[in-house]
Every structure is written in structure tokens, then in C-alpha cells.
Structure 1
Amino acid sequence: MRSSYPNTLARTVRSFFSEYLTEQRGVSRHTVLSYRDTLILLLRFVATSQHHDPATLDLTAISPEAVLAFLNYLEQERHNKTSSRNVRLAAIHAFFRYVATHAPERMEQAQRILGIPFKRTRTGTIDYLEEDEIRAVLECIDRSTSHGRRNYALLSMLFNTGARAQEIVDLNACDLQLDTPPQVTLFGKGRKRRICPLWPQTAQVLKQFSEEAQLDMRSNTPLFRNQRGQRLTRFGLGYILSKCVQSAAVKCPSLAKKRLHPHSARHSTAMLLLKSGVALVDISHWLGHVSVNTTNRYASADLEMKRQAIARAGALANSVTPPRSWRCDTSVIEWLATL
């Protein structure tokens, strides 16, 4: 006898994406696409490993063992990093939290899958540009061309705001305020809105750029466009930054030793603000961090600040008389020996 369609898995997947994520949670389009890609990979893997037609899969096929095998497949065969593996697992967890509340007969299965832990990842060093390196990158841009002037305005905005790449390319002309006080409205993760001040030099560059591009500052026209007149993508932004860094490395060799990407500009802005004496709480608001704990890592990233701390600690240590060794207290040693 043929099974009835749609089955529990099909109904749950449909309601998870069309109702729960978009209407109830209101998550961003990027989150929806990330969750979708994860489930596509998972369902394809389960169907292939169990020799099933993907259209016939039901929730029972996605067992905890199948999820663990899928995670191993991501790392061993697709060569995903641990961080990517954890992103996929987070999407699976989100789906099965929904399953637990909408298909209570699958509660045990959902709980076992939710019990699969994330892997610990290594925290790498933060690559960022020093102030002279930022200046070298901007100075290498040929501003005699329209594309060069666009790139100069683009990177000036990037280093000023410390915005995420997607936040920059999503900017519209109406998001800019170039009159006093100059500022830009950014929309970050979770569609959170924040206002970031612009330095006078950056505001002047953007004013000249907008006038040349004949932008209507009250419209939703993309602020930065590519050669085809379409909105610049974050991949286009990465390409422009990479080309500028390569050109600047000729006069600033230290750039050639660094592995830089658009997010490095965000780190660079944070470090520049930190060295200028701006408090971590204010930097957190500037960057749009949910928690100041995310910003705290910048406090331990700068080597020069570490050297100054060691120098201060060294001067203090030299003035303190070291205490007598605890080994001189034989009574403690004798007591420990009796334990």
C-alpha cells in the first residue's frame, strides 16, 4: 500500500520555513538560506546512505546516528572546518527544537539530536591593519578614474564604520546623512538598526562621490554599484579590497604577510578605536555587538599594548622583595607527606 503524502517530515519542513522562521521568528533571509542549505545537504546524505528516494524520507530516517554520520561526512569528505560543522549542527538543532514542539511523538528523537554537542574550535589570532597600513591601502587607489573614486569612498566607509561587508553593500543613498552631524544608518544581524558617526574626511569623500554619481539622497538607490550598474555584492567588495591590498603591499611590505579579508577591516577599526582610548563598551556599540564580551578579544589582540603591560609589570616586580620559598616550611611538607 502506498504511503500518504505529504508525510510528517514534508509537513514539518514546510511549516518550519514558511511559518515559523519567517512569520514567528522573523529571521533574516540569510538565516533562512543557511538553514535551507543545511537541510538539503542532510536529506541528500540520508537518502544516499539509506538508499532511499529523497521524496519518500520521513522523520524516522533522521536518527541521531544519521546526524552524527552526516557531521563526520562534512568534515572528512567535504573537508569542512569545525566552525562550518557547528553552523550546520546549529541549523539541525533549530529544526529539531521545532519538531519537539510540533510533533511530540518524536520528542525522544528530538532530544537525542539536541544532545549532540558542538565541537570546540581554535580561536585564531586577529589579523588587522595598523593605521599606516590603512593609509597605504587608501593612498594606492587611483582616484583619477570613476571606479577608483568609488573604491576610495567604499573603503573609506568600510574603515570608518567597521561595518560588516553585507552591511556596507546593503546601504542605500537614503541611509546617509552628510549634513552636520554626518552619520550612516546600518542594518546588522537580526535586522538591528544602528547609527554610526562619520569622520569629517569620510563625509567629504562620500559627498563628492554621491554628487558625481548623481545619487538622490532620499531614494533607495544602492549606494555602491558594480560596473553593470547593479548593487555591489560582498564578493565584489572582497575583490576590491584584495586588489588594493596587493597594490599597497609594494610600498608597505608588512601587508604581504597578512591574510586579510573584508572582516579584517572591521577588526582594524576596532583596534584603531581601542588604541585611541575609546572604551570597549563604546566600541561594542560602534560595531553593533550584542555583548561586550565579543569586543573584549580586541583588548588582548594588540602586541604593543601587551608589551607596555609587561613593561609596567616588570617595573613593579623589580621593586618587590620576593617572599621566602614555601619549601622552607618543613612542617607543611611533613604534614603533606602523611596524607
Structure 2
Amino acid sequence: WILYHLGLYNNVLENNNENSLLLALTNIKLKNYSSAYNISKNFKSDTFLFISGFCAYLLKSYDIALRHFQELYETYPNNPFTPYGIYRIGMIYYRTEFYDKAVNYFTILAKNYQNFKYIRNAIYLNAYSYYKLSNYEKSYKWLLVLIKNYPNDEETKLAKNLLKEIYILRPEIFDSTYEYYDYLKAYKLYRENKCNSAIEIYKVFINSKQKTILFFFKTTIGDAFLNDAYLEIGNCYNQLQDYKNAIEFYKKCNLKECKFNLAINLYLNGEYSQSIIQLEKLLKDKNFISKIPEIYYYIGLNYLKMNKKKIANEYLTKAKNLYLETGNHEKANEIDKLITN
């Protein structure tokens, strides 16, 4: 399965002891990793070195896995299996909190194997390992590599959050001429609940981004923070109970959090029909499955405000039952008091 997954199945059959290889692969499929390891450990081809390391890794025999993966890397540096081996070495050191060793292997991947399938995760873990080592300068630089080259990936969301944390800890290492600097200044104020000051600087950042877009100069790192700025301005206005302005900025934002916050602020602003429309859209979106109880709850509240008690009770009852299923009896009891006869 693993060779098929890597797209290397046919190649390795031609270049290895076929019977032993198929037997090892069968044992892996059956999750008999010890048997697969015992078969493969006696061979020194690239494929068997990888299988040996992989099985030892799954068995959490990390010292043995390291030995096989290291031999794979040193003997076959240009082999398709090699970046996977290097990645696993980095992961072993990362999981065992030897961050000083983990960065060596994640850096090798980032510099020499840019087309590797898990390169984004490797770069992020490299940055995070430097963060754990309190080497914030290097962490910061690797985070920028990730944000600039892969602005829309899942790892980049984590990278942006870590970059913000580093700015809170060490703002002096950031260059004030960088396009995202105003965003980070605003974010620090936002974290300190200084919303009015934060909003002013967020708007400076947004205006600078809009100007670059008008002149067709899109600077990727700054763009990556644009939706975050809309979200956080909306949150600031919400905190200030200025729901009308909160709605304006949530509408500009493409983040998942903004869609839900928009619905809630429409409710808080007395726009009940619009809030229901937005909440019903979220019910159909698989990204909001975890929020279904809350969505039912707010649909019910909207209908209560519109004095449509029968349909309000239906949604509130759905919400109450889901909260009971998850063990949140306090919330269920709160909702039960809203349900009218």
C-alpha cells in the first residue's frame, strides 16, 4: 500500500527480491509490522531500507528506524524514497523533543527536496522546532518562507498564528518596512483589548494592501494576512457593540470564522431574517458540522425575536437535544427556559 501510495510500486518490483518484497508488503497491509521488519531488515536496497525504517517507526523502535533511514539517506541521496526517510528522521526527533536535531533534517528537506509531498509540513515543523528552541529569528524566517510560497495551505494558517505569537514575544526582530508589519502591530493591540487603537492600524494596513492591488503589485505575505485583519476588526467592533461595522468587515472576509460571526452579528443588530438566511447556509456547509447545535440555537433566537414561537421552539428543541447528547446540560437547561408552550 505504501509503495502504491508513493507511486513507486512497479519500479520497486523490478529492482528488488520480488517474493520477499511482496511478503513484506502483505504483512504491512495486515499490520504485522514486526514480521514485515524481519523480512526487510536483511536486504540493503533502497526499498527495503525504507520499509525497515518505516516498520520500526510504526513499532516506535525509533533508534532502529533512525539507523535505517540514515543509511537510506547516506547511500541513496537521490532516490524517491529518500525525502520520506529524511522526513521521518525529523519527525522522530521532533516527537521526542530533540528539536536541535529535528531542525537539521527539516532544513535538508526544505533546501533540497522542494517537490516533496510533505514539504509544507516539514517547513512548518522546522519553524516550530526553532520556536521551541527559543531561536525566534530562525523560526520567523522559516515561517515567512511558508507564508510566501504557500499562502492558502492549512500549514500556513498555523504559520500565521505562530508568527503572531513570535511578534508578541519579540517585536524587535521584525523589520518595520515589511508589508505585514502594520498588521502585526494592530494584532498586538487587539490581543491587549485595545480595540480602538487596533482598528486604526488595521485600517492603515488594509489601505496599503488595497493600493498595491490597484497598481497590480500583490505582495503575497501581506495578502495572507488580509482576511485575518477583516476578522479581527470585526471582532473588535463586536466587542465595542458596534454590530453594524462588525457586519461590514465580516462580509469582506473569506475565513470560516467570519461566516459564523456574520450570522451572529446580524442577529445582534436586529437583522433577524438575514441572520436566519446566513445560518441556514452554514447548516449546509460541512465545515460547520461542529457548530450545528449553536446554529440551531441562534436560528431559534431569531424566530423568537420575530415572535414566531412555534418554529422557534422547533429549532431550540433541536439545539437542546444536541447539547444533551454532548453532555452540555448547563446549555441545554438554559435553552429549555426559552422554549415556550
Query: Do the structures match in fold with TM over 0.5?
Result: no
Higher helix fraction: Structure 1 or Structure 2? 2
User: For the superposition of Structure 1 and Structure 2, which TM-score range results when normalised by the shorter chain?
Assistant: under 0.3
